[in-house]
Structure 1
Amino acid sequence: MALLSVFPLAFPELQKKSYVSNKSPVRLNFQSTETIKRKKVFTSNRSINAILTTHQQGITRRIGNHHPNLWDDGFLQSLEMPYDGPPYVERSKTLVREVKEKFNTMLTLESQDDLFQCLSMVDNVERLGIDRHFQEEIKATLDYVYRYWSNKGIGCGRNISSVDLNTTSLGFRILRLHKYNISSDVLESFKGKDGQLLNSSTQSQEEIKSIMNLFRASLIAFPKEKVMDEAKSFSTLYLKQALQKIDNSNLSREIKFNLEYEWHTNVPRLEARNYIEIYGDDNSWAKMTINGKVLELAKVDFNMMQCMQQRELQTLSRWWVESGLSKLEFSRHRHVEYYFWAAGGVIEPKYSTFRIGFAKLSALVTYLDDIYDTYGTYEELQLFTEAIKKWDPSAIEGLPKYMKITYMAFYDGVKDMAKEAQITQGRDTFDYAKSAWEVYIDAYMQEAKWLVEGYIPTLEEYLENGKVSSGSRVVTLQPILTLDALLPENILQEIDYPSKFDELLCLTLRVKGDTRTFEAEADRGETVSCITCYMRDHPGSTKEEAINYLQGLCDELLKELNWEYLKPDNVPPISKDCAYAISRGLQLLYKERDGFSVASKDTKNHIIKTMIEPFPI
């Protein structure tokens, strides 16, 4: 599929004029700085990831100078898990029952703000990470609210005829995320004669909360929703100004968190941790009986899920040691970080195979990436590629030791996931997975060939290959097949290749990833990225201009991904939910930097907060 077909809605002008140059790609010697400079292709001058070389048996190899594994196996195996014993299980069941009773009574009580209270209840349990216990109650509650929804929005109560911004914004966000048919035109009702959404200088606490809900709603945008862009611009500026005037309170903490993490980088486990802390410090909120029970349940549940995650981490770490992958000193060891990527958004205990399988496959992709991009010689890569495509352990004869270790871990990993998928799908999916992996490996070889030849492709050519080499499809495909949802091949193709959903997952990973990794990759001699290809297509452009363009492209692709995720189709919801959660986790880990290669900062802190440190009970 041509790249242009991926985002006709996001960039309508592209239907008339291609966004990439039709000039022929240039060829560069990646080792020649002078040639690169003459062609205006970005070359990093930083030394933190400078090219290092190692000489083995007469072979000169590049290595990435990556920091080592941060999570010692001995440390993980020693973790104690005191919060999953019978007392906590029983307390959790009691609290779940009491909160369910509150949900049920809310729909029968007379109240002037019953619709707002219903929406707030749903919002609270979702933000606190306990919504999986109340799926039936949430559905009934939202069906009730939706009955009163109009094309101008909704009031705070069923007997209130006038609409209000707070309830409408909160309702818009929740109902759209639950796949109700909600149009962004409702926000037009809140514009004044001057076309502005709000004209007020009071900035009362209630008004600030309304604008915060408007901001949160604006993030669930589809392509071509101009009013959503306007709402985001307005609410962002408003909230930033409000922060300068209000005290350092729970409200300011909530505003800062939402402005920083927005939606696509706000994974559920991190959000739950944050809101448990905010609500726990808000005496006016927590002192209400039902809120106190909701908060207690959130803490107990968080700690119980953390114990589950720690057990799974122990299993993953044992695999890492026993597979021999821990001995590959040239590569990044990020199996724990990849587990966080999956566990941050896929929480249900029954989806253990998804989380662990995703972490294993993602780790394997990283070992392959470091082999193809940095450590392996071109001749070795050709032999390695041939061996992989034979799918036969005997094919490793003649390969270097590091490739033998990687090959066997890869072969066993793909086979094991196929066996798990057969349990849930009732059919053998190994051949289907093999085909996906072979296409992926071919994309790696294409990039290795570009590097050897010093070839800089057009941006369009690069992205066509890069959406495959990103690895998004191969690390998601097999884990999705282990979920408790049947995916016959005709339905599978609505979420896997060649679906728009899959293509957007792959492109957003590639584009976002390149904006965070290109400098370190350039330091290692990897000259081809979205940035260098854009600069090659636009002579005289700067890396800042390239990054700004690509960030804008990624933002529009994420709007399209929102639509592909939330539109009606035949795909089981859990399959899309998990794939979309992976996309959000990726956006978080690439938020400020390459959170995989440089995992010792934000990523490490996220892991500690969500998977290591429990709440005191």
Structure 2
Amino acid sequence: RANTKTTMEAARPLANFPPSMWGDHFLSFSLDNSQLEAYAKAMEEPKEQLRRLLIDPTIDSTNKLSLINNIYCLGLSYHFVEDIDGQIAKLFNDLNLQDYHDVDLYTISLHFQVFRNHGYKFSCDVFEKFKDSSSGAFKGDIVTDVRAMLSFYECAKLRLMEGDSILDEAFAFTQAQLKSVEKTLEGILAQQVKHALERPFHRGHPMVEARLYLLDYEEECSKFDSLIKLAKVHFNYLQLLQKEELRVVSKWWKDMNIQVIAPYARDRVPELYVWILALYLEPYYSQARIISTKIILLVLLLDDTYDAYATVEEMRLLTHAITRWEISAMEKLPEYIKPFYKIILKEYDGLEKQLAKEGRAYLVEASKQAFQAQARGYLQEAEWRHSGDVPSFEDYMKTGLVTSTHGLLSKSALIGMGEIVSEKASSWYQSHPKILIASEIISRLHDDVMTFEHERERAKTATGVDAYMKTFGVAENVALEEVMKMVENAWKDINEGCLKPREVPMDVLAPIVNLAKMIDVAYRYNDGFTFPEKTLKGYITLLFLDSVPM
């Protein structure tokens, strides 16, 4: 029997993941409600002052848009939704592209970003005047204004599939220019350029980017005293709330005894809470964050069971049990999987009862069905791995979009959001819209590009890169280039999907968009999730350990 066990262990695709670097650190937090209330009270006055500035008719359009941009970048927009919408709608309706004839690149880039960020399709024809009509290249004189180059670079990240080819050129141009001058810059401008080249704002973690924006642009924001005051108190207010949410989730994980049940799995509670925090930072989505973090932790356990421990036969049994979704299905499961299976059923049952009271159990059902599809997708990938087959790129992507997890996670994100998620919004999600497919493509392929070498070392695994090479008969470097082109095109589809008119409110779209951003955060340079010390450690420190000096 000992020999059989040894043989079984040898057949397991063990990954030996690094342990958690946080241990029980966030379990001991105790929320000081009086401090929380003090912060809430301290926000009232600057909030009112900012509201008055937003609707002040004597402020010109550029200063108004600059204020709106700063509010947006600091993560404060949710306090002023109606005021901002009203102001931008008016400015956009009064717009005349001829008025931009004598306007500088920095100002035009600012206007472009604000309108596009808020769903208005501001034409990129305004940038044509910065190109030489005879050569078609950008004019040499614009490169001397680094601030304008930086703003133009951020605009390029908002480009669409159709009609924005000048922004494709602008991205290559501004990136090259900024890289060439980066080492010659000093002070805050050097910091701004370095940060943007490392991680463009529009592809970053919204909460982290907001904190870093305060560091990089505090001087600019200081034009509005109430803005700086509100931003600083707001960050400290959110930090208390979020540390409490992280404590709740950490306690749940520990109480479930996961590290004993599944010692082979990655222990990444703070990292996954940060992942979910990217989806929505508003305090009123606290319940949604807690629910979504629990579900993403169950998905991680599922992933690591299939990918880093179970044999193919055990996976088939688990997939069958998850498809049946009833406690009696547990009998046929291996002993070590039974506690995990029980947790899945128990958690979803609790959510179903909770949401049934609100008449919204259909949201839990959508998440459950996506969870079942996830298990089937993981099994399919394991079958390919087991047989040594490399599927066609089309077959790979059919399964890969499911195992990207973005269908499951975005549907699960809706569960605790409340009345903003109507039955119509849930049906829209179920229709697998283009923007959701784009988010899944980004997740699947960007992850593959950054992890395929590591996966090959562990086992003969079919990734999108391998499937592309096989299907199209191309070399690895060509496959990598083509796959990353697909990722960039998917970003254009995401930008398109955020423009008005939208089929669902922006808050309901946000989980899809922000999940894609988290893939860029985690996989831009390496597998930043499995090895969180590269990126996520710094984010956790910034958000939960460093408070903002008042």
**TM-score scaled by length of structure 2:** 0.92
Contact 2:74 2:214 in 1 (8 A): yes
Deviations 1:470-516 (A, max 9, x none): 22111221221432345555543433343222222212111111112
1:251 aligns with 2:168: no
Partner of 1:239: 178
CA RMSD of aligned residues (A): 2.4
How far the C-alpha of 1:81 sits from its partner, in A, is 5.2
- Decide which of 491, 494, 515 is 2:449's aligned counterpart: 515
Q: Map 1:315-464; keep pairs closer than 5 Å.
A: 315-327=248-260, 328-422=262-356, 426-464=360-398
Partner of 1:142: 88
Contact 1:222 1:563 in 2 (8 A): yes
1:547 aligns with 2:480: yes
Instruction: Give the direction of change, closer, same or farther, for the CA distance of 1:364–1:259 in structure 2 (3 Å limit).
Output: same
Instruction: Give the direction of change, closer, same or farther, for the CA distance of 1:145–1:540 in structure 2 (3 Å limit).
Output: closer
Secondary structure at the aligned position of 1:62 is classed as coil
- Decide which of 476, 487, 495 is 2:429's aligned counterpart: 495
How far the C-alpha of 1:429 sits from its partner, in A, is 4.1
Contact 1:458 1:537 in 2 (8 A): yes
1: CA distance, partners of 2:202 / 2:258: 32
1: CA distance, partners of 2:4 / 2:242: 40
Partner of 2:64: 118
Question: Which residue type is aligned with residue 145 of structure 1?
Answer: L
- Decide which of 112, 115, 132 is 1:175's aligned counterpart: 115
Partner of 2:212: 274
How far the C-alpha of 1:427 sits from its partner, in A, is 4.5
Contact 2:442 2:519 in 1 (8 A): no
Contact 2:364 2:415 in 1 (8 A): no
Contact 2:366 2:411 in 1 (8 A): no
Question: Which residue type is aligned with residue 8 of structure 2?
Answer: I
Contact 2:154 2:200 in 1 (8 A): yes
Contact 2:414 2:421 in 1 (8 A): no
How far the C-alpha of 1:375 sits from its partner, in A, is 0.9
- Decide which of 8, 21, 26 is 1:70's aligned counterpart: 21
Instruction: Give the direction of change, closer, same or farther, for the CA distance of 1:203–1:57 in structure 2 (3 Å limit).
Output: closer
How far the C-alpha of 1:92 sits from its partner, in A, is 1.2
Percent same amino acid at aligned positions?
26
Contact 1:497 1:503 in 2 (8 A): no
Contact 1:508 1:557 in 2 (8 A): yes
Instruction: Give the direction of change, closer, same or farther, for the CA distance of 1:81–1:300 in structure 2 (3 Å limit).
Output: farther
2: CA distance, partners of 1:600 / 1:412: 33
Contact 1:492 1:571 in 2 (8 A): no
How far the C-alpha of 1:58 sits from its partner, in A, is 5.2
1: CA distance, partners of 2:128 / 2:399: 41
Secondary structure at the aligned position of 2:184 is classed as coil
2: CA distance, partners of 1:532 / 1:595: 21
1: CA distance, partners of 2:110 / 2:187: 22
Secondary structure at the aligned position of 1:455 is classed as coil
- Decide which of 518, 523, 538 is 1:590's aligned counterpart: 523
Partner of 1:477: 411
2: CA distance, partners of 1:575 / 1:417: 19
Partner of 2:471: 537
Instruction: Give the direction of change, closer, same or farther, for the CA distance of 1:237–1:357 in structure 2 (3 Å limit).
Output: same
1: CA distance, partners of 2:426 / 2:296: 21
How far the C-alpha of 1:463 sits from its partner, in A, is 0.9
1:299 aligns with 2:240: no
- Decide which of 126, 129, 148 is 1:210's aligned counterpart: 148
Q: Unpaired runs of 5+ in structure 2?
A: none
- Decide which of 145, 149, 166 is 2:106's aligned counterpart: 166
Partner of 1:59: 8
How far the C-alpha of 1:540 sits from its partner, in A, is 6.1
Looking at secondary structure, tell me which structure has more helix per residue: 2
Contact 1:267 1:588 in 2 (8 A): yes
Instruction: Give the direction of change, closer, same or farther, for the CA distance of 1:518–1:424 in structure 2 (3 Å limit).
Output: farther
Partner of 2:158: 220
2: CA distance, partners of 1:425 / 1:237: 54
Query: How many pairs does the alignment contain?
Result: 543
**Structure with higher RCO (Cα < 8 A, 6+ apart):** 1
Deviations 1:113-142 (A, max 9, x none): x22111110111112222222222322331
Instruction: Give the direction of change, closer, same or farther, for the CA distance of 1:116–1:569 in structure 2 (3 Å limit).
Output: closer
Question: Which residue type is aligned with residue 15 of structure 2?
Answer: G
Contact 2:46 2:230 in 1 (8 A): yes
Question: Which residue type is aligned with residue 522 of structure 2?
Answer: L
Partner of 2:52: 101
1: CA distance, partners of 2:158 / 2:434: 18
How far the C-alpha of 1:408 sits from its partner, in A, is 1.8
Secondary structure at the aligned position of 1:333 is classed as coil
Secondary structure at the aligned position of 2:113 is classed as helix
Contact 1:316 1:356 in 2 (8 A): yes
Contact 1:67 1:332 in 2 (8 A): yes
2: CA distance, partners of 1:325 / 1:573: 35
How far the C-alpha of 1:66 sits from its partner, in A, is 0.3
How far the C-alpha of 1:68 sits from its partner, in A, is 1.0
